[in-house]
Every structure is written in C-alpha cells, then in structure tokens.
Amino acid sequence: MKSSSSLLIVVAALFGLASGEKEQPEDTPGAAQAAIISDNFVCQHPPYKVQLVSTSPLVIYLKGFLTEAERTHLKAVGKSTFNSTPTKTGPHSIYIPRDAVVECIEERTLAFQGYASSHTHLEPFQLDRHTPDTAPDEPQPDWFADQSYRLAENGGNRISSLHALVHVAPDIADGGINFPLLNAPRDEHWCDVVNCDGAWEEGVTFRPVEGNAVYWENLDADGSGREEVVKRGLPVAKGEKIGLNIWTRQGVLSNEIREKYGYPSV
C-alpha cells in the first residue's frame, strides 16, 4: 500500500469512526442465514478505540471493533460447521457467506482504510476456531510469496489484514496472536491487551480479547511482502476462541476467481 494510503488510515483511525446505521438490504442470502439475522437488523458502527502499535510496518490495535450483535451472529453462522465433526478432524477455518451483518463489517473495514478499496477487493470473511485440540500454527505472513497467487488477474497480493475476536471463552488460557519480529510496546498501559510478561525477543503477543481486533499492512511501498508481519496463533491451553480474518487484496477478486478458489461469490 502506498504511503499516502497509510497516512489516510492513521488519520482516519485517530479521529475514529462515527456511529452510523444502515437498513438491512432486501436481498437475504438464504434460509439458514435469514433465520439467524433479525428481521429488523440495523447496521450500527461502534465507537471503537484505536491504539497505534507501529508505524513501520503499520500495525493498529482496535478495541471494540465488533459489536455484541455481530459476534453473536458470526458465532451462530459458524457453529453448525465447526460442530459437524470432531475438532481434530473437523474444519479449523471456514469461509462464510456474505449477508447483512458481513456487509456491515465490510463497510466499517473499508471506512477504516480510507475507502481506498471497495468490497470487491475483500476476500470472503473467514472464521477460524482454536481449542486445545487444534494443531499449533506455524509462523507465516498473510501475504503471498507464490507469484501465481499474487498475479493481477488473481486479485494481486494481500495489502492488509484485520484479525478480530468473535468469541473468547471465559476460561481461556493462552491463545494469543504473536508477531515475533515486531517490537513489543513497553508502556504498562498496553498490558490489558498485550502480554507484558513475555521476553523481549519473543516480539509482541496480543491477548485474546473478544470484540477487539488487530490491523496491519502486509506490503512495502514497492509491493514486496514485509517480513516483520510474520505471525502465528499461539496454542490454546484451555477453552476456545473464534477469530475473524478480513483480507484486502490489491485488485478486484472477480466471481470467476472466487469460484476458482472456492470462495463464496459476491
């Protein structure tokens, strides 16, 4: 992402996103989804709080990014799929259809990024579930190293990532998201959302806090991937967490490309 776009995001973030509302579209996405979404659903953007973690690469922490109603809906959407098979052999992550709630969160995400992209640049939302039975994540970036994935006709690379917590069990133990190559904030005011007990050489680990999110940019100005945003989800020792991944591409993801990679169409 260009530096001017980064500046737009920082400025927009520091001023915050004003609360607003949008009536639910008339076109609902199917019986299962329609049953979950309330008939009188109204898109309301919360006055989430912004904390700047790093300017290079740009990393921003967002407190209260998802509303309680949105979290409840997303948990319900994923519940049947996640519970359909035992955890060890069942799905660890799923793409979810685009509905009124997803559109509301899309709008908030695009506004936060200064409307530099449209919803056609967004990959389908992905839910991921972690329990003590989930295999550990390997450290890796979200940007694509494989040239075939980042071709313009395939939508290009992932310019940014936003990871939000949909559900965190009250008895959760561990399960943070770790950026081993980022410098951890030193001030004690961060300790409610950052593991301040970790060693300095371990980078920064964000605690799993329901409703909160981490946003980061994946690419340099020349389009190359930034090594500093290598990350991994730490194992959950107890309890469960469900995260929401929102990835923004450099270009448009056509329905042809979405079908090719098994994404829901828009």
Around 70, how many Cα atoms within 13 Å sit in the side-chain half-sphere?
27
Domain membership flag for residue 20: no
Domain membership flag for residue 37: no
Domain membership flag for residue 231: yes
Element housing 70 (H / E): helix 68-82
Q: How many domains does the chain have?
A: 1
Domain membership flag for residue 266: no
Domain membership flag for residue 239: yes
CATH number, domain with residue 66: 2.60.120.620
Domain membership flag for residue 249: yes
Which positions ≥6 away from 226 have C-beta within 8 Å?
57, 141, 143, 217, 218, 219, 220
Query: Which of 78-87, 105-114, 152-161 shows the lowest per-residue confidence on average (mean pLDDT)?
Result: 78-87
pTM: 0.85
Domain membership flag for residue 213: yes
Domain membership flag for residue 254: yes
3-state secondary structure (DSSP) of residue 204: strand
* For range 107-115, the mean pLDDT: 97
Dump pLDDT digits (tens) for 136-194: 889 999 999 998 888 988 899 999 999 999 999 999 999 999 999 999 998 999 999 99
Dump pLDDT digits (tens) for 9-59: 554 554 454 344 433 333 333 434 444 666 678 999 999 999 999 999 999
Whether the pLDDT of residue 127 is over 90: the answer is yes
- Per the structure, the complete domain to which residue 176 belongs is given by 3-13+47-260
Residue closest to 139 by CA, chosen among 233, 244, 75, 222:
233
**Rounded CA gap, 93 and 104, in Å?**
21
